[in-house]
Amino acid sequence: MNEAEWTKLARDHFVGRKIVSVRWMTAEEAEKNGYHRRPLVLYFEDGNWMCAQMDDEGNDAGAMAATGKIETWPVLQEGFETGDMAPYIKAHNKALMRNKVIDPGVVGKGTQS
């Protein structure tokens, strides 16, 4: 599939859906998926869910970048408290903005086709 086809599929799948619950994946679920870290899981009104992965192959959990007060939703890892990651996450977000990897004026606006 090309980008336009993936975009249409994503738009059809996500636009208008309601997130009804969020939680971090349990250690047991992460282990079953072969993850060393635990991602944030979003649950939709129809019972489907979504979480970030590090790549298309699902080699591990991934963090989610966002706009707003919290710019990075981290993955949890045994032995790390979420607060221990806060300075790293803040510095990482600033670097992304500085290097224009993320353009705050574009993120979240979507594209029309």
pTM of the model: 0.66
Residue 64 lies in a domain: yes
113, part of any domain: no
Does 109 reside within a domain?
no
Domain total in the chain: 1
How many Å apart are CA 37 and CA 35, to the nearest integer?
5
The pLDDT score that the predictor gives to residue 12 is 93
Q: What is the pLDDT along the chain (113 residues), one digit of tens a residue?
A: 899 999 999 999 999 999 999 999 999 999 999 999 999 999 999 999 999 999 988 899 998 888 888 888 888 887 665 555 555 555 555 655 555 444 444 433 343 33
Residues 6 or more apart in contact with residue 98 via CB below 8 angstroms: none
Q: Contact, 53 vs 34, CB < 8 A?
A: no
Asked if 57 and 33 touch (Cβ cutoff 8 Å), the reply is no
Please report, as a single letter, which amino acid is at residue 19: I
In a domain, 104, yes or no: no
Contacts of 39 (CB under 8 A, 6+ apart): 24, 25, 51, 52, 53, 61, 62, 63, 64, 75
Q: Which bin fits 110, alpha (ψ -120 to 50), beta or left (φ > 0)?
A: left
Residue 108 lies in a domain: no
The answer to the question of residue 82 being in a domain is yes
Residue 77 lies in a domain: yes
pLDDT digits (tens, 9 = 90+) for 9-32: 999 999 999 999 999 999 999 999
Task: Give the residue numbers spanning the domain of 47.
Answer: 3-98
